[in-house]
């Protein structure tokens, strides 16, 4: 199974050798061997997550923030290609952080949009994730205990970052709650089942300093169908990432 959590693997799979992309409705353009990334379309309308996440937040978050990660990833990769051609190792090293930050931002947000679903849709019911919920109950004792633990982890994050439920690469594929700082993606072979963006841009316009209310409400729009597919390895993302 392809590991969807590894940044470099992800980038490599979007190379000219691969025709599939992160999202079925996005596409990449290859020019002179350099892949140009594009913003994947949101799989629902900007107002689909209301009242839990406002249309204004979704539009800015997707069309401005995510777009900026894509734009800056392309710029960094272009500069890196020039540095490689010029055999300028110092410039190549200097670009690593920009590639990691913007590449991570592109990966994290692409995963995030897909692990959310319109308010009231079938996908938002944990019933859509029977295998995953069984594993969650086995790990945390109950679904509510898991939600409490996950929410507490999100609220304990300092600064900007993400909270994730992951299926571990080791430990028999067990479930674990992890956080990543800034735009660091999940790495090390762990499979992100779903993630929650805890950057202020994800909630501040609507919730202001009420971070706890954002965390409480995000549970209403988690896409359990996507989560189940990632958990079981049946996600079509495995051929795309
Ligand atoms: Fe974000």
Tens-digit pLDDT profile for residues 39-53: 999 999 999 999 999
Any binding-site annotation on 201? yes
- Class of residue 142 by CB neighbours under 10 A (exposed 0-12, middle 13-18, buried 19+): exposed
- Write down the pLDDT at residue 32: 60
Q: Specify the residue for token string 């919920």.
A: 133
Mean per-residue pLDDT of the chain? 88
**d(CA 22, ligand 1 centre) in Å:** 17
For residues 9 and 139, the model is more confident at 139
Distance in angstroms between the alpha carbons of the first and the last residue of the chain:
11
How far does residue 200's CA lie from ligand 1's centre (Å)?
8
Residue 75: count of CB within 10 angstroms of its CB: 13
Taking the centre of ligand 1 as the mean of its atom positions, its distance from the CA of residue 172, in whole angstroms, is: 31
Please give the pLDDT value at position 7: 52
Q: How far does the centroid of ligand 1 lie from the alpha carbon of residue 233, in Å? A: 25
CA of 61 to the centre of ligand 1 (A): 6
Q: 116: which DSSP letter? A: B
Alpha carbons 194 and 10: distance in angstroms, whole number: 17
Q: Give the helix/strand (H/E) hosting 192.
A: strand 191-197
Residue of 6 and 154 predicted with greater confidence = 154
* DSSP-assigned letter for residue 39: P
pTM score, whole prediction: 0.87
Q: What is the pLDDT of residues 59-88, one digit of tens each?
A: 999 999 999 999 999 999 999 999 999 999
Model confidence band, residue 13 (pLDDT cutoffs 50, 70, 90): very low
- Helix (H) or strand (E) run with residue 177 in it: strand 175-181
What pLDDT is stored for residue 26 in this prediction?
46
Give 7 Cα–ligand 1 centroid separation in angstroms.
17
User: Which of 20-29, 152-161, 166-175, 221-230 bottoms out in mean pLDDT, i.e. has the lowest?
Assistant: 20-29
Residue 31 has pLDDT above 80, yes or no: no
Confidence label for 171 from pLDDT (cuts 50, 70 and 90): confident
**pLDDT over 80 at 132, yes or no:** yes
- Candidates 101, 92, 31; CA nearest to 70 is 101
Q: Which two tokens stand for residue 160?
A: 């900007």
DSSP annotation of 176 reads E
pLDDT over threshold 80, residue 153: yes
Task: Tell me the CA–centroid distance for residue 20 and ligand 1, in Å.
Answer: 24
- For residues 133 and 126, give the distance between their C-alpha atoms in angstroms, rounded to a whole number: 7
Better-scored residue on pLDDT, 23 or 235: 235
Query: Is residue 211 scored above 50 in pLDDT?
Result: yes
Q: CB atoms < 10 A from the CB of 172, how many?
A: 6
Q: Which of 73, 56, 78 is nearest to 107 (CA)?
A: 73
Classify the phi-psi angles of 187: left when phi > 0, otherwise alpha if psi is within -120 to 50, otherwise beta: beta
Q: What is the mean pLDDT of residues 142-168?
A: 98
Question: 140 C-alpha vs ligand 1 centroid, how far in Å?
Answer: 28
Q: How far is the CA of 111 from the centre of ligand 1 (A)?
A: 11
């Amino acid at each position: 199974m392809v590991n969807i959590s590894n940044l470099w693997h992800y980038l490599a799979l979007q190379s000219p050798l691969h025709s599939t992309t992160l999202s079925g409705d996005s596409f990449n353009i290859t020019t002179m061997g350099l892949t140009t990334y594009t913003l994947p379309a949101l799989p629902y309308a900007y107002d689909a997550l209301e009242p839990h996440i406002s249309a204004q937040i979704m539009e800015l978050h997707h069309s401005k923030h995510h777009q900026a990660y894509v734009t800056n990833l392309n710029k960094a990769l272009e500069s890196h290609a020039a540095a490689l051609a010029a055999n300028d190792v110092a410039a190549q090293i200097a670009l690593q952080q920009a590639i990691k930050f913007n590449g991570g931002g592109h990966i994290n947000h692409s995963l995030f949009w897909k692990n959310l679903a319109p308010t009231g849709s079938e996908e938002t019911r944990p019933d859509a994730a029977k295998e995953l919920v069984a594993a969650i109950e086995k790990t945390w004792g109950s679904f509510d205990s898991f939600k409490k633990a996950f929410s507490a982890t999100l609220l304990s994050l300092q600064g900007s970052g993400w909270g994730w439920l992951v299926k571990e690469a080791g430990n028999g594929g067990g479930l674990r709650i992890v956080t990543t700082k800034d735009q660091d993606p999940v790495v090390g072979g762990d499979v992100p089942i779903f993630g929650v963006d805890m950057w202020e841009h994800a909630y501040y316009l609507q919730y202001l300093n009420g971070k706890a209310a954002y965390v409480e409400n995000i549970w209403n729009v988690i896409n359990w169908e996507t989560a189940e597919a990632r958990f079981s390895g049946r996600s079509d993302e495995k051929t795309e990432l």
